[in-house]
Chains A and B, each alone.
Chain A
Amino acid sequence: MIWIQQLINGIGLGSTYALVAVGYALVFGVLKVLNMAHGDIFMLGSYVGLMTYFLSPSNPNPFLAVAAGFIVSGIAGLVMERLTIRPVIKEHLTPLLTTIAVSIILQNSVRLFFGPIQKSYPFEFEKISWGTLMFPSIVFINLIASILIMLLLVLFIKKTRMGRAIRSVSENQDISASLGVNVSMVMMLTVGLASALGGLAGVLMGMTLGSISPFIGINYGLKGIIVLIVGGTGNILGAMIFGILLGLIEVFSVIVLSAAYRDIVAVCCLIIILVFRPQGLFGELGVKKEA
């Protein structure tokens, strides 16, 4: 029975990784930038969700928390794109540096404001029993919500006009512009969307695992980047699939090996993929095209 429990935990963990990785994939696909602050935007979202609890501690609203995390992180993403990415996007490596700066600023601002110690996420959820197992309902809510969101995102990318525009801009900016797409607006909205998803994932994670700290962005950010690369850099589906896979792999590695090896597993996957299939599971081998 422990397998079923761990399977569910694994998919739950994996869906957090998947949502974070999708954020990287969107920004990398469209802007060709690795957003080093994405993990901390995720962290920021989790703290925003926490703050909504204290608005009405006697009657907390988890939906409000998720919505607040989504919106605030989304806005942070829009501002970040405008101020720290757009001005330097023509330089190849500079956005990497500026987003690292944003990461440092976010981590330390939150640390100064809330303190460096772990804070517990006080939202309470009723327990659901399933056979001989007991789960807090949030575990299922997290799972279902994450998968639903990923489905919606795929539908958005594949079926809507804006989704087509995003795919078009990630392939060829000049052609997109000459077809009437406002490329810089699409870039800004993409970073906003990616960040909003990250913030939402942060709140869900906080509610599921029960605690957050100003430094969770480091761990989840790194795992997110690994998932991005192994899934196929810039490939949204790959990020989703390998995100969930990684969650499962990590959880089962704790059973089979020990908790100490948990983070090593992710890095091992990265090394294996880079050696045997550097384009990632779903990526394309390509030569970089210069304009």
Chain B
Amino acid sequence: MFLQVIGIDVFYGNIQALNGISFEMEESEIISIIGSNGVGKSTVLKTISGLKSAKKGKILFSSRGEIQRSPAHEISAMGINYIPEGRQILTRLTVKENLLMGAYRIKDKRQIKTGLENMLERFPVLRERENQLALTLSGGEQQMLAIARGLMSFPTLILMDEPSLGLAPLLIKNLFKLIMEFKKEKKSIILVEQNAVQALRVSDKSYVMQGGRFILSGTSTELMQNELVRQAYLGG
């Protein structure tokens, strides 16, 4: 089993954000977690990536065993990359420097150079703005940069936190086209999204979240036909 999350409880102070979260994932699967604002979807990704620690429960990753106590930089070294909510690129660094930071844990200079070239090929807009401060990029470009940065270290598992948030409809279309390309490339992704329609379309399995728990799960096709899901998240 590629990733196993078992009975995770997470608290912010005294408030319980996650309650008994459990799921499993195979390699090269795309899993999506959908639900409305504030139910705890981001917290799931933050906990897996090590930015939040769980009070209870286990996370087992591939050959690494239990990782729920590992700090964020160690989890990044295992190949799990977190692409955060709200882009959160490093605004005071240039586009190129952001990408280089994405490759921070890679020691081989040639690998870094190749990776950089690949990203600039794939996202020509970034090549145009290579030496500009990341601050000057538009919202869609920043999202592209955040994703490109997340790919720089050849991750084994990609955690995408609400990538479509705040993007114009055309850019959202392009974003999910990109995720479909990732699917063809057999990348392993956990996608957290408020945009349920698109999320279900690109993912294999899906989990519906409410109040810190998973209330429904199944293949995305199943969920697309589920009455409850259609009413609540797909616009009836």
Contacts and interface: CB of A to CB of B under 8 A. Distances in A.
15 contacts: A161-B104, A164-B93, A164-B97, A167-B90, A167-B92, A167-B93, A167-B97, A172-B90, A177-B71, A178-B49, A178-B84, A179-B76, A179-B149, A180-B77, A181-B104
B47 interface: no
Interface in A169-208: 171-172, 174-183
Given A178-B73, A178-B76, A181-B73, 16 more contacts: A164-B101, A167-B92, A167-B97, A168-B93, A175-B84, A176-B101, A177-B51, A177-B73, A178-B72, A178-B82, A178-B84, A179-B73, A179-B101, A179-B102, A179-B104, A180-B76
Interface residues of A, number: 17
Contacts of A168: 90, 93, 101
Interface residues of B, number: 25
B50 interface: yes
B69 interface: no
Interface of A: 161, 164-165, 167-168, 171-172, 174-183
Contacts of B142: none
B127 to A, nearest CB: 20
A178 to B, nearest CB: 4
B88 interface: yes
Contacts of A167: 90, 92-93, 97
B129 interface: no
Contact of A178 (B50, B91, B97): B50
B87 to A, nearest CB: 10
A25 to B, nearest CB: 14
A178 B81 contact: yes
A177 B53 CA distance: 14
Contacts of B71: 177
Nearest to B72: A177
B199 to A, nearest CB: 22
Contacts of B104: 161, 164-165, 179-181
B164 interface: no
